[in-house]
């Protein structure tokens, strides 16, 4: 068994680690494992769990965000998110690689980095209300036909949906929170062709890689 993990610290204050302090440090972490050749030879099971706290990767000064050309360099889901990934990989014969995976990606309450409201934002309960979720099941088959020549077939199903928070106003509004409709969250986090339930089929052939 192989165990691994990673930790990204945007900023940290030891005072925020106290139980009576509602503030959460903007951090992101990933935990994972990989089990190979059990219970069958050439079979492996992989699992990953990722969580990212509120406001992580963000900043009011554009040059200080963890991004390049507005593209987030951290986890693809951004802040206040959770990602679960499980995959089975099997090599039944020489040159054939089968990979079956499931991904559950979830975004929770969406916050902007407003300097005067940062403390209020990181004092909110993380991973509280779902705003967007995408379930993905994917089967990938790669076969090495001849040396360094590969044929690939990929079958992918996804179901992306948003959740309405606009109709659930808070008693005490949080200035930095975006409370949107289900469709607005869906448009923000999913491209048009990935919204709702979809099947995608990919066929390809490559040389050298």
pLDDT digits (tens, 9 = 90+) for 109-138: 999 999 899 999 999 999 999 999 999 999
Is the pLDDT at 66 greater than 80, yes or no? no
Beta carbons within 10 angstroms of residue 58's beta carbon: 23
User: Residues 5-13: what's their mean pLDDT?
Assistant: 92
What was the pLDDT predicted at 56?
93
Q: Model-level pTM greater than 0.75?
A: yes
Q: What's the pLDDT at 50? A: 98
End-to-end CA distance of the chain: 28
What are the tokens at 21?
């302090």
pLDDT, tens digit, 9 for 90 and up, residues 150-207: 999 999 999 999 999 988 888 888 999 999 999 999 999 999 999 999 999 999 999 9
Q: Which residue has the higher pLDDT, 108 or 171?
A: 108
**C-alpha radius of gyration, the chain, whole number:** 20
pLDDT averaged over the chain?
93
- Of 24, 82, 30, 31, nearest to 55 by C-alpha is 24
DSSP state of 122: H
């Amino acid at each position: 068994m192989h165990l691994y993990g990673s930790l990204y610290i945007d900023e940290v204050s030891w005072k925020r680690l106290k139980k009576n302090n509602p503030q959460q440090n903007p951090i992101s972490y990933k935990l994972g494992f990989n089990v190979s050749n059990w219970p069958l030879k050439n079979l492996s099971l992989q699992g990953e769990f990722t969580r990212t706290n509120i406001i992580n990767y963000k900043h009011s000064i554009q040059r200080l965000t963890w991004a390049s050309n507005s593209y987030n360099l951290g986890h693809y889901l951004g802040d206040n998110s959770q990602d679960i990934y499980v995959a089975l990989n099997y090599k039944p014969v020489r040159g054939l690689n089968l990979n079956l995976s499931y991904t559950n990606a979830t975004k929770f309450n969406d916050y902007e980095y407003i300097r005067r409201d940062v403390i209020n934002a990181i004092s909110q309960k993380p991973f509280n209300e779902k705003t967007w979720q995408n379930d993905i099941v994917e089967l990938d088959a790669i076969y090495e036909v001849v040396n360094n020549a590969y044929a690939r077939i990929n079958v992918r199903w996804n179901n992306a949906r948003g959740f309405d928070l606009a109709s659930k106003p808070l008693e005490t509004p949080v200035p930095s929170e975006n409370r949107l409709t289900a469709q607005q969250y869906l448009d923000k986090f999913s491209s048009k062709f990935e919204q709702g339930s979809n099947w995608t089929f990919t066929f390809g052939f490559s040389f050298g890689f």
